[in-house]
Structure formats: structure tokens, C-alpha cells
A and B are shown apart, each in its own frame.
Chain A
Amino acid sequence: MRLGGRLRAVAPFARRLVDSATSGIDDWMTGKLGEEFNARLARVPLNLTATGVDEFGLDPAWTKYALASVAFLHRKYFRTEIFGKEHVPGGRVLLISNHSGQVPIDAALIGASLFMDIEPPRFTRAMVEKWTQTLPFISLLFARVGQVVGVPENAKRLLESDEALLVFPEGARGISKSFDKRYNLVDFGLGFMRLALETGTPIVPVAVIGGEEQYISVGNFASLAKLLRMPNMPILPQLLLPFGALPLPTRYRIYFGEPMRFEGDPDDDDAVIEEKVFVVKATIQSMINRGLKARKSVFF
């Protein structure tokens, strides 16, 4: 009771402290990122409910801070270069990208470019692994910044409300590629194509270059991953170096390709769908190959 009373006495001060801290962070953010950041934030189309989140749990206040920290990585650390920003349409769109880099920084940077560099600014929605929902804080953070559980019903609902949905058809196998297999696409899942056919959504192929070199993986510690119930556990020698936990400051290059439209029955045989998926995969692979050829240096 006494402790409770004391807490209650301290609460207003604590709140004032938090308030001044957030306004301090806000000022600092505006200083670093420019007024434009806030202006773009105000232009993002959102469907908020009465209590200020959207139906999937996206909270614009959380997303603002998440984007601000990603913006720093995007502009200063990875110095992302963007090509083909005119190819991303305004309405519903499926962004299909290669997945790389052990940690999904590629998703964050694609999200940052859709918000900071492409017109109109928008929040990218991505699908996350189901097991992340069992993790405290991570599941919460993902939900508040607009990441949804990777089930087809969610994807369909997002596209029907004209959102930009980012999908990595390579999945977990793609992100944990070892260094010798870098920039070689592994098998694509077929789900995204059925989704595109069902909802009449254009597909924008995306090639991300620079992610494969941020963490050099020499193999996969499968038994440990299984023990920890994680999809994979890459072996990263650089973690032994000082500051090795940080990704190497490679330069990211993100290529957006021309929108591709497909027609057909979403419930066709796998073989029929596979052909269409192969067209997308080949497009992304050739975008990657061209990008790699154009790249002079990994770091600059």
C-alpha cells in the first residue's frame, strides 16, 4: 500500500520526464531528418480505428520512431541508392524481393525507401514468421509497426485495403544463405502468385544488392537452431571481432522493376502457377545480375 502510494506520488514526475524526453527526441529527430520527414508522415494514408491504431495493430506513433531509426541506417549507414522509384504504383501492390543478410535489414530498407523516397509516402506491410508471435516484445514491436502474421488471409485483407505488401518468396531459406551462394535465388514459394491473381494486384519485382555482404555466413548450425526452435542459426565468424555484431557498412542498392500483371485462375495447378512464378524469379535474378555488374565496390 505504502509502495503504491509512493509510486502514485512519483508518477506525475515520471510522466513529465517521459514527456520531455519524447519531445526532446522529436526535436532531435526533426533536426536530423528535416521537416520533410514529418510532412511525409502526415501524408501516409492510414485506416485508423477509434483508438488510433489500425485493425492489424499498426500504431503511427510507434512506426514514426521505428522509421526514424531505420532512416538513419538507410541514409547514413548503408547509404542506400534507389533505382526505378517511378515503377511503384500508388494503390495496392505486391513487392516481391530477394531476401538476404541473415537479419531482415533488407525489409527495413525497402520500407524506408517507400516512406522516404517514393511518391506517395506509405508504410510498407510485410509478413512475418508465425513463430515470432510467441516472442515477447518482438511480436509487439512487429504488430505496432505494421508487420502481420504470414497467413494468406491477412495478405488478402491488406491488399483489399490497397496497402503495399512486401513478400520474400524465398522465405527463411533465402535470408540465411551462406556466403558462397550469395545472390543466387533459392526456390520461390507459390503463394504470392495465387494472391496476386486472386486480388488483381500488380507485382513489382525488387532486387536488393548489398545485403549478402553485411554478415558473412559460413554455414548453418542446424541442430542448435532446432534446439532453440528457430528456423536457422547462421555461423558468422565476424561476431568474434570487436563490434562484430553490427552489420558491415556495405552500400545497399535497391532496384524496383516495372510492374508485372498476371492473369489466370488463382486455384490452378502448381505447375501452371509455377510458370508464372518463374517469370518473376527470372526477372529478379536478371535485375540482381545487372546490378552486381554495375556495382564498382561493395562498400561505396
Chain B
Amino acid sequence: MAEAPRSASQRPSQRPSQLPPGSIPPNSMPRGPALPRGTGTILVTGACGRLGKHVVRIQHRERRVIGVDRRPFPDKPKDVVHEQVDIRRKKLKDLFRAEPIEAVIHLGVMHDPRASQAEHHSWNVAGFQKLLEYVAHFQVPKLVVLSSANVYGPQPDNAQFLTEDAPLLGGARFSEIRDLIEVDMLAQGFFWKHPETETVILRPVHIVGAVHNAASNFMRLPTIPTLLGFDPMVQIVHESDVVRAIGRALVPGRRGIYNVAGPDPLPLSHIVKLLGKPSIPIPYTFGRAVLKRLWALRLTTFPAPELDHIRYVCMVDDRRARDELGYEPAIAIEETVRSVELESW
């Protein structure tokens, strides 16, 4: 990061003064020489996802990075430590015990449409609770949680641009998103309960690029299905802009909830046009019925309630991120749209 690191003498001022002096948890490990903040070790969960790899690749140039993921990390940079652990396991705690961690970036939210709901819940919620426990116990100064603008949910009565105070209604029609909402809520609770940790919750809009998620997979379809008579405005953001936002969130002193949007919003039909692909308009009721069938037969990865994303608006106002984090998307809309076609590694 380009920001000047804070000097060590400033460090105590980062800690809130209302904590009683005795409340510093006993930490058996001798801490190394105090590094200026903004240069210490960071721990990234979900490091082997495509977004995780991107974050690791950017961050390891500046500082020590520990990647945590139960998946293997085939072509990882040499100086990155990869711990192949399940975040629900005790072994995660050993990582915190072994060395002082300055920041935790939590990207490890599972949204595999095929994993069972119980597995999802245990991984996403129970695993995240464990992580929060360690962050609190070892007094990690910074926690960045990647949530999503999908927590607001597409609704017919949404404001055109939702602010961070909008209610999280994404689960109302689409129960699979409830885990993510719970993670977001847990992070919010942690933000208030542990002021000694600077908690940043990022809620990016649909991330596209090399990442694989519902939105980018939708854009990779050979023929894009749309809903007859609907053409909502949508926002997409390039993964490197999200990585940039995460970098801005790591800067000492930044805390809070931030929506992250990409370049200007555009109608779904313009995305299809930029992709240069044919599209096929389908009546909503028919489309939903067919998708439900296909889903039941395991022939599609798109659950039927996700159709609302191509029916109603779910856009965010990212003025707060621009003003307070200094975040600015750098990738233009054409490149952002076409990035789904490229495999960058």
C-alpha cells in the first residue's frame, strides 16, 4: 500500500481507552519487535479461491501473508505460507498463537450451490464465530470481512441506490443467502463489542473477472437468458477493484461498513450487448418453473429465486467508500464486462 505506515509511537492511540488496564489477554508467545502498523502479518481465509489468490498475490509484495484454506494452493508465491486447515478446527488457533497477526481478511464464505445447508451453516457461521473468537482473544488490530451487496436483496421497492443502513432483506425470498446475512450481522455485532479491533465490512456488488460466482457464471453462458419485459439496472465490479478496496480497508484507522460498487450502473441488456452474445427473453413465470425443475434435477447451478436479480434492482450507493476509504474503481465498464471471458491464470 502506498500509505505511509504509522509510527510505533502512535500505536496506543489506536486502542480505545475505555478498556480496563487488566483486560489485555494473557498471551504466552513473546511478541516480536513492534512493527509499524500497516506492515505486519496478515491472515487471509479462503485464500485458494480466485479472489483469495488475487488478494494474496497483491498483499504478499508488501508484507507477510498466511493463507488459510482447506483446498490446496498449487501455484502459490514462494513467500506465502499456506495452511491447509478447516477454519472450524483448533489448528486455526495455533496460527494466531504462533505469531502476532496484524490483520485478518475473511474471504472464506462458502457458497457452493450443491453443498448441503447444514454444511454451509456450519462452515460459514460456526467457522466465522471461531475466527471472531480468536481475533478478539489475540487482539488482532484489524478485521476485514467480505460480505456482499446481495445481503440487501433485489426487491421491487428498493431505492435505486441502497445505503449501508438499508435493511438486509436478501433472505426474504432466497434462503440460501441467509448464511451470508448472518455472517454480516455477526461482523456488525463484533464491530460494536470489540472496539479495540478495527472491523471493516465490505459489501461489493456482483464481482466479475476470473472469479466463479452466480453473476459471472451467468455472464459466461453462451446465450444469456433474460426475463421478458424486465431490464433492471445492474452494477458489477471487477475483482481487481474489490482487491483494491480490501487494500484500502487495511489502512490503519479505517473501520465501518462500506458498499463497494464498480463503474457506472447499466441496464442488463447493455451488458449482454457488450458481451456480444445472443440473449433469449423468457416470461418470468415460465422461467421460474423451468429453473425450479432443472434445479431439482441438478441440471443447473442457478437457484430459481436468483431470477429476481435480473428482475429487480439491487444497487448500492458507494459514496461512503469513496469518501472514507478513498476507494475508486479503476476498471472501465467495457473491460469489467469482458473480464468474464478471460482466464487470467
What residue of chain B has the Cβ atom nearest to residue A149's Cβ?
B157
9-residue interface stretch from B42-50, B90-98, B107-115, B159-167: B159-167
Asked if A149 meets B270 with Cβ closer than 8 Å, knowing A136-B229, A136-B230, A140-B231, the reply is: no
Which A residues touch B160, using CB under 8 A? 55-56, 148-149, 153-154, 157
Interface residue A130 (Cβ < 8 Å from any Cβ of B): yes
B161 touches A153 (CB 8 A): yes
Which A residues touch B126, using CB under 8 A? none
B266 touches A137 (CB 8 A): no
What residue of chain A has the Cβ atom nearest to residue B337's Cβ?
A51
Closest chain A CB from B50 CB (angstroms): 26
Interface residue A49 (Cβ < 8 Å from any Cβ of B): yes
Q: Give the B interface residue count (CB, 8 A).
A: 28
Asked if A51 meets B333 with Cβ closer than 8 Å, knowing A130-B156, A133-B156, the reply is: yes
Which B residues touch A135, using CB under 8 A? 229
Interface residue B227 (Cβ < 8 Å from any Cβ of A): yes
Closest chain B CB from A214 CB (angstroms): 27
A51 touches B266 (CB 8 A): yes
Within 8 A of B (CB), among A122-181: 130-131, 133-140, 143, 148-149, 151, 153-154, 157
Q: Bits for A49-83, please: 1 = Cβ < 8 Å to B, else 0.
A: 11111011101000000000000000000000000
Q: Bits for B245-282, please: 1 = Cβ < 8 Å to A, else 0.
A: 00000000000000000011111001000100000000
With the chains together, A208 CA to B163 CA distance in Å?
36
B233 touches A56 (CB 8 A): yes
What residue of chain A has the Cβ atom nearest to residue B231's Cβ?
A140
Asked if A51 meets B264 with Cβ closer than 8 Å, knowing A136-B229, A140-B229, A151-B159, the reply is: yes
With the chains together, A12 CA to B41 CA distance in Å?
59
Q: Give the A interface residue count (CB, 8 A).
A: 26
With the chains together, A184 CA to B124 CA distance in Å?
58
A51 touches B270 (CB 8 A): yes
Asked if A137 meets B229 with Cβ closer than 8 Å, knowing A50-B264, A50-B333, A53-B266, the reply is: yes
B161 touches A157 (CB 8 A): yes
A57 touches B332 (CB 8 A): no
Closest chain B CB from A19 CB (angstroms): 16
Q: Bits for B320-345, please: 1 = Cβ < 8 Å to A, else 0.
A: 00000000000011100000000000
A130 touches B157 (CB 8 A): yes
Which A residues touch B267, using CB under 8 A? 51, 53, 57, 59
Which B residues touch A139, using CB under 8 A? 156, 229-230
With the chains together, A153 CA to B156 CA distance in Å?
14
Question: Which B residues contact A (CB, under 8 angstroms)?
Answer: 156-163, 227-233, 263-267, 270, 274, 283-284, 312, 332-334
- 8 nearest CB pairs, A to B: A136-B229, A49-B264, A153-B159, A133-B156, A137-B229, A130-B157, A51-B266, A51-B270
User: Can you list 23 A-B contacts with CB-CB less than 8 angstroms, sorted by A residue number?
Assistant: A49-B264, A49-B265, A51-B270, A51-B333, A53-B267, A57-B232, A57-B233, A133-B157, A133-B312, A136-B229, A136-B230, A136-B284, A137-B229, A139-B230, A140-B231, A143-B232, A143-B233, A148-B160, A149-B158, A149-B160, A153-B162, A154-B159, A157-B160
Known: A50-B333, A149-B156. 16 other contacts (CB 8 A): A49-B266, A50-B266, A50-B332, A53-B266, A55-B160, A55-B264, A56-B233, A57-B233, A57-B267, A133-B156, A136-B230, A149-B158, A149-B159, A151-B159, A153-B159, A157-B161
